[in-house]
């Protein structure tokens, strides 16, 4: 869908649609409105407009009340909006997505196929004690999904639905994590028996990769949603998908960055931000002074990727909460308050620099005013930082509230 739509999307249209995108959606789900809806979806994904995608999903749900079932084109549109909105979807919406949506559309796409990364992002924003419950609901939802994974199936008379494939996989492999050889044998034998095409074989493999990830516990190193920094015997390690990599190992820098999204030049993909954080950790060996100096330089040079990487690393190291104790960063807020004739608020920053409202102001100024990120992009990134920090202190979960900076 994306190449076709992009070829019919002018720069002027993209600029127009990207501003308050939810307001640009047609007020119906007719055949004549499909192209505009598709353009809106492409722009929402390219601009990583999570909040806009959520509003659009609500609009489609409201408009679809007149249909016994959504037309195929709008089912695809709903799938991609769910993909875009996934980092901030509610649990019941995530469950509905994997129960009702043909998410193979996403897994089979050449560029936007990283459902594992999307789920990791969402789960990383909730308490770890709750994550396995979310995984279980996704797991159960897939057992009810009647959308086709393949045209044919290994049992004659049954469809190649997602539900039928997972039930057969469980029956042959078991519900525990599958060993590589056992899984490979299943794929080879069932592909032959079901007469799967090469495309269907690839789809089955991609689906089982996702299915096995969901079966993991978030307490399992391979299932943990964030690249965890660990100190042991004077050395620093990063847990990358279950593999312990020592800081300074070239593997940390050389890891391939998968194409998360085709986004505007101003906003790097999430995987690139994570890579930047890892690189900074490697270069600094975790030295806070070096990290803060790099952050200052990145802000001064308006280097978006380096700034976001430094902020992410500080949040993971639980050192972002007191950043305003450093005069270099406190001065950023104070200068802004003076420009806005709000000097009376400066005393509050000096007396309580770790207050969430002050951090929210700092992030707003840094991300929007200095780096020129859109309000939507800045809020989405700020919300993620807040949720990481809330693991240590719940008060930071309110940095972004009701889709606004809570200043």
How does DSSP assign 42-110, residue by residue?
Answer: HHHHHTT-HHHHHHHHHHHHHHGGG-SS--HHHHHHHHHHHHHHGGG--HHHHHHHHHHS-THHHHT-S
Beta strands in 180-320 (DSSP E): 228-232, 235-240, 243-246
Considering the domain architecture, whether residues 260 and 353 belong to the same structural domain is answered as: yes
Considering the domain architecture, whether residues 346 and 383 belong to the same structural domain is answered as: yes
* Residue 181 or residue 245, greater confidence: 181
Considering the domain architecture, whether residues 81 and 157 belong to the same structural domain is answered as: no
pLDDT at 241: 55
Total-model pTM:
0.60
- Mean pLDDT over all residues of the chain? 84
Structural domain contains residue 147 = yes
Report the percent of the chain where pLDDT is more than 90: 39
Eight-class DSSP state of 161: B
Considering the domain architecture, whether residues 269 and 211 belong to the same structural domain is answered as: no
Structural domain contains residue 242 = no
pLDDT at 261: 37
Structural domain contains residue 97 = no
Q: Three-state SS string across 220-232, please? A: CCCCCCCCEEEEE
pLDDT at 342: 79
Contact 375, 49 (CB under 8 A): no
Q: How far apart are CA 298 and CA 211, in angstroms?
A: 39
Report the percent of the chain where pLDDT is more than 70: 88
Contact 187, 204 (CB under 8 A): yes
Considering the domain architecture, whether residues 260 and 390 belong to the same structural domain is answered as: yes
Considering the domain architecture, whether residues 166 and 293 belong to the same structural domain is answered as: no
Considering the domain architecture, whether residues 117 and 30 belong to the same structural domain is answered as: no
Structural domain contains residue 244 = no
The pLDDT-based confidence of 254 (bands split at 50, 70, 90) is very low
pLDDT at 363: 94
Q: How far apart are CA 384 and CA 400, in angstroms?
A: 9
Please count the structural domains in the chain: 3
Considering the domain architecture, whether residues 269 and 140 belong to the same structural domain is answered as: no
Structural domain contains residue 249 = no
Structural domain contains residue 375 = yes
Considering the domain architecture, whether residues 128 and 79 belong to the same structural domain is answered as: no
| Residue 308 burial (CB count, 10 A) | 27
Residue 17 has which token pair?
């649609």
234-246 mean pLDDT: 59
The pLDDT-based confidence of 375 (bands split at 50, 70, 90) is confident
pLDDT 10s digits, 326-345: 888 988 888 888 888 777 77
Domain of 116 in residue numbering reads as: 109-217
Beta strands in 197-334 (DSSP E): 228-232, 235-240, 243-246
Considering the domain architecture, whether residues 30 and 163 belong to the same structural domain is answered as: no
Structural domain contains residue 173 = yes
16-34 mean pLDDT: 90
> Which of 56, 88, 120 is the C-terminal boundary of a domain?
88
Contact 314, 326 (CB under 8 A): no
Q: How far apart are CA 372 and CA 270, in angstroms?
A: 17
Considering the domain architecture, whether residues 262 and 161 belong to the same structural domain is answered as: no
pLDDT at 250: 37
The answer on pLDDT for 91 being more than 90 is: yes
Considering the domain architecture, whether residues 207 and 264 belong to the same structural domain is answered as: no
* Residue 261 or residue 37, greater confidence: 37
Structural domain contains residue 343 = yes
């Amino acid at each position: 869908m994306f190449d076709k739509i992009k070829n019919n999307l002018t720069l002027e249209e993209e600029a127009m649609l990207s501003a308050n995108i939810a307001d640009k959606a047609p007020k119906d789900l007719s055949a004549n409105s499909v192209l505009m809806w598709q353009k809106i979806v492409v722009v929402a994904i390219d601009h990583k407009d999570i909040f806009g995608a959520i509003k659009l999903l609500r609009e489609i749900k409201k408009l679809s009340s007149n249909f016994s079932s959504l037309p195929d084109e709008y089912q695809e549109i709903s799938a991609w909006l769910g993909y875009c909105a996934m980092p901030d979807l509610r649990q019941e919406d995530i469950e509905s997505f994997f129960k009702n949506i043909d998410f193979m559309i996403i897994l089979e796409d050449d560029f936007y196929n990283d459902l594992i990364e999307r789920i990791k992002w969402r789960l990383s924003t909730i308490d770890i004690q709750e994550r396995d419950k979310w995984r279980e609901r996704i797991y159960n939802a897939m057992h009810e999904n009647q959308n086709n994974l393949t045209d044919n199936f290994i049992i004659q008379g049954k469809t190649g639905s997602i539900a039928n494939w997972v039930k057969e996989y469980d029956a042959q492999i078991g519900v525990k994590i599958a060993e590589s050889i056992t899984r490979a044998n299943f794929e080879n034998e069932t592909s032959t028996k079901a007469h799967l095409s090469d495309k269907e074989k690839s789809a089955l493999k991609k689906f089982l990769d996702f299915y096995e990830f969901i079966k993991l516990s978030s307490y399992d190193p391979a299932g943990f949603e964030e690249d965890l920094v660990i100190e042991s015997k004077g050395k620093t390690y990063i847990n990358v998908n279950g593999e312990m990599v020592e800081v300074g190992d070239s593997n940390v820098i050389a890891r391939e960055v998968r194409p998360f999204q085709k986004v505007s030049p101003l906003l790097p993909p999430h995987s690139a931000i994570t890579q930047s954080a890892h690189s900074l950790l490697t270069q600094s060996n975790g030295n806070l002074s070096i990290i803060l100096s790099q952050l200052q330089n990145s802000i001064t040079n308006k280097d978006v990727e380096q700034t976001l990487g430094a902020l992410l690393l500080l949040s993971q190291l639980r050192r972002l909460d007191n950043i305003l104790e450093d005069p270099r960063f406190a001065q950023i807020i104070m200068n802004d308050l003076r420009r806005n004739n709000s000097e009376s608020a400066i005393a509050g920053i000096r007396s309580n620099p770790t207050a969430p409202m002050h951090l929210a102001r700092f992030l707003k100024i840094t991300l929007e005013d200095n780096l020129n990120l859109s309000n939507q992009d800045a809020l989405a990134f700020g919300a993620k930082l807040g949720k990481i920090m809330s693991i240590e202190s719940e008060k930071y979960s309110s940095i972004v509230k009701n889709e606004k900076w809570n200043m």
